[in-house]
Amino acid sequence: MKKFVSGLLVGFLLALPAFAAAEQISVVGKKVQVEYTVFIDGKQLPVNAIAIDGTSYAPLRVVGEAIGYDVSFKNKTVIFESIPKI
């Protein structure tokens, strides 16, 4: 019985941080509260920004390319590189 309770407690403690981390990074199932039209230098972007639970999300690739950057993603990192002017 003692091993069962110990195992149950250890299992609960191991599962708790994973649940908390998943809750922080997931927006699945959340409702988009507001959509914003985005303009850069007077031109409307083809994709809107959104707000979920008080946090706004903008489409990085579209915004980056609109302001003159080449945008790439590598190893969970967003890389903005200036495009050489010829």
Q: Which tens digit of pLDDT belongs to each residue from 1-19?
A: 555 444 544 454 455 454 4
CA distance 8 to 4: 6
Q: Is 1 helix (H, G, I), strand (E, B) or coil?
A: coil
Residue spans of the domains in the chain: they are 2-82
Q: Which tens digit of pLDDT belongs to each residue from 51-85?
A: 998 899 999 999 999 999 999 999 989 999 988 77
Question: Is the entire prediction scored with pTM above 0.85?
Answer: no
Mean pLDDT for the stretch of residues 20-25: 50
